[in-house]
Each structure stands twice: as C-alpha cells, then as structure tokens.
Structure 1
Amino acid sequence: MMLYKITEIADLFVDACLRNDSGELMFLSVYGRDTALQQFIAAMQLRSNDGGIISFSLKPTEANNEPARIFVNVGNPDRFEKYSGRLPKDNLFGNLSHIWIYDPVLIRPDKGTKTGWVILNQSSESAESKNLLTEGIWLLYKKLSPVPLLDDWKEEVTRLHNAICVTWMTDSNYPPVGKISAARLMIDDQFASLISSMIKSGQIGINGELIDVRTDARCKGAEKFVSNAKSVLKPFLSTSQYQSMLELCKGEEGDFFESKFEEMADRISAMPKTYDTQNIADPIVSLHYFMGGSDWYIIEKDVEDGVSQAFGYAILNCDLMCAELGYISIAELVEFNIGFQRVELDLHFVPIPLSEVKNLVERRYGQVAA
C-alpha cells in the first residue's frame, strides 16, 4: 500500500485522496496520532492568516510515476463529515488513529443539484472497476433523473449523455490519489427534455420496443414517460383545469393539449427560482393566472417545490393602483374559487418582461400600474 505524507503537518500519512474537477478535497483517508490529526482538522477550519491551511500537499513515501508533490485545495471546510477509528494497539506503528474526511455528497446524492458520486476502494485500471463505476453511474441516473428511466434504456442513455453528464475522475486534471477510483454524475436542466425527445424519435422505447410517439401520441406506455410533463405541470393547475386538459387530450384537439402540457412543463422547468431575479431590473414573467378581474403574473417559482412561495406581480379586482410585487402561493391560488369561478393558468400567455406586462394591463384597464 502506497502512503503519502502531508507535508504541512508532521507524522500524518494518507492512503487515499479524492479531489473534484476544481482540485478541491472530496475525500481523505489519513492516519496519524490523535494530536496530529486534531491539529490538521483544526488548521483546516482556520483562515490562513490565523495559521490555518487552505491547501496542503501530499508527498509519496516511495518513488513512483506520480508528481513529487500532489496539491489539494481544502475548499469550504464546513461541508465535511468525519468517520474515525483506531488501529489495533499491537500494530507496527504504535497507537494510531484513522480518519475519513469527506463531503457527504459522496454517499448522499444531492437531488437539488442532481449531482452524485460513485467511489470505489480500488483503482480504475481493472475491468471490474470500470464495470462497477458504470453500474454505479446508471443507478445514479435512475435516482437523480427528473423522469423515470427503464433499465432497457441504459445503453442508449449512457452513450448519449455520459459525455455531458459524467466526469471520470481518473481522466480529469485531478485524478484520485491511492488505490481508489471515482466518477461524478451531474444531470443538467435539459435532461428531461432530451429523454422525451429520444422517446419521440424512437431512440428508446417501452418494454424493449422502439416506438414512434409521433404516430401514436396517446400510447399508454409512451404517455407514462413523455407526459412526465403532466406531473410537472399538475401542481401548477387547479384540479378542474388539470382534469379538463386530460380529457381534452383524448379528443380532436388532443395533439394541441399534449403539446401544451409539454410546452408549459418545459417553461416551468426552466423558470428562475426564488431570488434568482432579485438583481434584474426588468425580469421575465413566465406564467399568468387569472380569475375575473384579478391577475397573477409569476416571475420566480419556489426554490423547493415550485408552488409554495413563488414571486410575482398581483392585480386584484382590476385595481392597478394597489397592484404589487410580492410572494404568491401558487398552491393556494389553484385551490381558490368563488362559486363556479376558479383561478386558471393562461395556456396562451407568452413570457414577456414585467414592463410589458404593466403596459399591457394599463391599456386594458385604463389606469397607471403601480
């Protein structure tokens, strides 16, 4: 087993280290006496002018093909978790402790950023390691994907998306140190749309069969996956509007309403989240809700679930003088009704800047918007 000395702190030895593609520490397996380990951990928490370390270097204890020094940036130390143990007392080196320092995203994929890691305690040189990494990446795809994925799609999805979504750390500028291997998956915002396009084009199908959704738009199997759009859009619609659209999908205008589901779902997926537009003078309004003389123009969706606390411009009872920007609960909005009137999402609204919305309502109501 190759060991590496931490040059900044005496008597600390590392047998494995993983960095991300920015060179920041993700995982460190380090051995040493308790005092040296505690000194190292404390130094990572301090600023450099207070005697702390923002980076450290590893020096191989034996000659090999690696650089004479391997540099590691600490990054934000607050993200680290630790797992410690103690070597048996009768070992050759005396009373030593062993600590893993790691970013928890390595074991708990981040569904918010759709990022996850696979890490193995063996080098990537063997065929077995490569297969295990590949299998682990596919499991992450299934866990983090915003749309359901079938195992039959594995080969085609990974072939087309690995180059975009996967970083094989052995091939990066900061390869793993020691006998470990790792890969990172980061699914981008366009992934769901690309999967939908693959189904439509017949690249992937249901139950192992390729299908062309264009010629069978309401195929039950295809609908389950292509119309993930329906599940995306559902929280943004009142129950009655959602049910009406589902029924209309079965009629003569089915193609129109199917396309509306997908169009609106894509728009919602790409919308800014809470605080994303706070420094934009004239933000884009993405959604419009209406009921009678009241309008709600949505600029940001809620950062958590999209609907709990959105942000937008509200006009109640045609009163532009009291119209205002503020937080809007879409979840409450779509449940609101007065008699037979319900708040509905405007399926024909086209995203425009807030200034144009104000011009539009001023012309409609003959008042100056606040």
Structure 2
Amino acid sequence: MRGLPAPVAHRLNALMVQERAVAWLRIGADLTLLDAGGELDHYGLTAICRGEPVGEQALFLEGLLPLFESPYVVPSIGLTGDIAADVHIHEDADGTWVLLLDVTAERDATRRVQQKAYDMTLLQEKEALLNRRLEAVNAALRETQRELEASRDLARQELERKQLELAEARTLQLALAPPPYRGRIGARAVAVDVVLEPAKEVGGDLVDHFRIGNDMLVFLLGDVSDKGAGAALMMARTHALFRGLINRPDAPWLFRAPENAVGLVNRTLAEGNAGCMFVTLLIATFDAATNRLTYTRAGHVPPFLRRCGGAVERLGAAGGLPLGLSEDAVYASAAVTLAPGDEVLTVTDGITEAMDQSQCLFGEERVAGVMRRGCVAGTSLLQQLLAGVRAFEAGGMQSDDIAAVLVTIGTS
C-alpha cells in the first residue's frame, strides 16, 4: 500500500486476513478450479476439488463466470450457515481470481438499522392509531366520569347508612352480653365476669348468664362457625332460644341437667339449616344447694377450673356435637364439685387460636398459665388474660371473635 510503512501495511494485512476470514479461488480459462486457499471451511468450501468445474462446487459463482469486466465485485452474497461475503473477482495472466471477504457483521448491522427504521415507521403508525383510540377512550372516560360524579354522593350516602347500621348492630350485639354479676346464689357468694370482643363490626360469639330460681346459676359460652353478619344472626337466634327456656314451667328440670336444654335448642337450630352453620357451646349450671357444677360441652374448648389452692384442671368430658349439625344429636352432662375460692374459666378459640407474628398460636397452655398465676392486685383475671393475648399478637390484627366467662365461688 503506497505511503504506509511496511510494519503498518503488514499489520493491516494481518487484520484483514484475521477479521475478514479471507479465502481465495484460482480458476482456469476452462472454468475448472486450479487452486484454493485461506479460510475455506468458513464458507463451506472445505470439500472443494481442484481440477473440477468450479460452478458445480461454488454455486454462488453461477452467472458470474466467465468474467466480462475485471475487476468485478458482488457485495454481501449469502453463503452457507448464514455467512455473508463480498466476492471480489479479477483476472490476470495466472487465471481468474475469486476473493471472499466475510461481511456478516456489516450485513447484520445493516439489517438492524433497516429493522429499526421499519420499527420506527410501524411505531409512528401505531402511535397515530393509539392517539385516535385514546381520544375515543378519553371521550368515553369523560362521560363515565360524569356518570360517576352523578352517583358518587348516592354511593357515599349508602356506605354511611350501612356503616351506621353495622355500628347499631354491634351495639345491639354487645348489649346481649350481660353485665358482671356480684351476689348470692342460694347461700353461696358468686361472681361472674364476661368479655365479648367481635373481630369485625359484628361477630358470632355468644356469652350469657342467668339465674334459675334461687339456687341455680346458668352460664354459657358459644362460638358460631362463621364470622360477620350471618354468624351474628345465628348467635342472636341461639341466645334467644336459650333465653326463651327460662320462663318455661320446666326450666329447673331443663337446666339442672343442661343436656335437656341443649337438646331442645339443637333441634330448632338444625331444622332447615341448609348452610350447615353450627355453634360450639359450653353450658354449665352451678347448684348452690349441692355445690355441684353440671356442664354440657358441645364441641367447645374445655373449660379451665382453678382450685382455691392454685391447681388448674380441665373439664374435658365430651357432651355431644356442636349445635345445628343434626336434629338427632344426643347430649350428655358431666359434673364436678366446687369449693369456695374455685374459679371456672370458659373461653372461645379466639383466645386459644390468637396468633403472633410467626403464626404461632397462643394455645390452651398459656391460658392455663394465667389461671395458675391468679389475679394480680388491681387487675382482674380476664383483664390479665386479654392483656396476655394482645401482647402475644404484638399489634397484629384480631383474627377471630373473642369471648370468655369467669365464674368465681366466693369464700363466704
């Protein structure tokens, strides 16, 4: 190359051979292959044979030979394996020379540029179409906005009405829970404390206590199998059914053996119960004349009995199925004698199944632990229990309704 130092020319030649995968063919006047060399395998020409017609071996030369113009260049011919090469052809005294230079990278770059130009054109067309569609959508949105604005106030008023109804329903439900009791049942001093905290506006936990005659105290705790308004209605119905038994002439007989009362209520709840909603229940009657606590446990969490000395027992006798599942369910009672200073705690699974941040349950053993420790000065046992649950949940959302009833037998 004129004007270049020999080392530079040599380096340029090496780069050309290395980067362009140079291969060459020398062809005679009869169009047979005289010689070949360079990177033949790069172009799929490894098996080319000298002395054979070149047109049958290098198909890309078809129509190019014999040469009418020298030198002659055919740019970017597609060869085997998606290779592209510039084909340079010239003649001299030794024959016709064919030089192959790889231009695959340039061919691909050109394709990318062409594709990008095509994509840009297509994008512009799509953008124009999108703009037209957006204009139509905006018009529809403006119309929808006008309709939404027209109905927004009505929706807000309806929401406020429903929130007010739920607040009233919550107030009414909480009003069903009786106040604490301090008094005498027969000759025995008795205290009753209750707690009821629905997880939602209204819930499905039931807590109640009432007297039958002078000598009997009845308390009950129930948990409906669902939450929300449906469970609240089931709870209210169950509450009303038990309350409705108080004024019957046979009320002492029904509640002295509480399985009798449970059987009557169960048959009413099970009749036509297409949704299979049910109520776990613990009902117990304390008879001050005998100091006996007779209880029926219908699928409910077993109560905790703390003796005056601090030992904690469980009242785990099974009494039958939860209420509402079967009209033919049979119930049974068990009994235990209570002494002055004894305490009976009944809870729903909203306490035992309260969860901490790692989804661990509060559990029945923690409830028993609170019972064993007993009251701390100035704090009731139920307050301690609820504080323990809240601390265990560590700020987590209450996942289930919470209810409990604590009956304490006085020492005088």
TM-score scaled to structure 2, two decimals? 0.17
Question: Is the radius of gyration larger for structure 1 or structure 2?
Answer: 2
Larger helix proportion of the pair: 2
TM-score scaled to structure 1, two decimals? 0.18
Return the structure number with greater relative CO, CA threshold 8 A, min gap 6.
Answer: 2
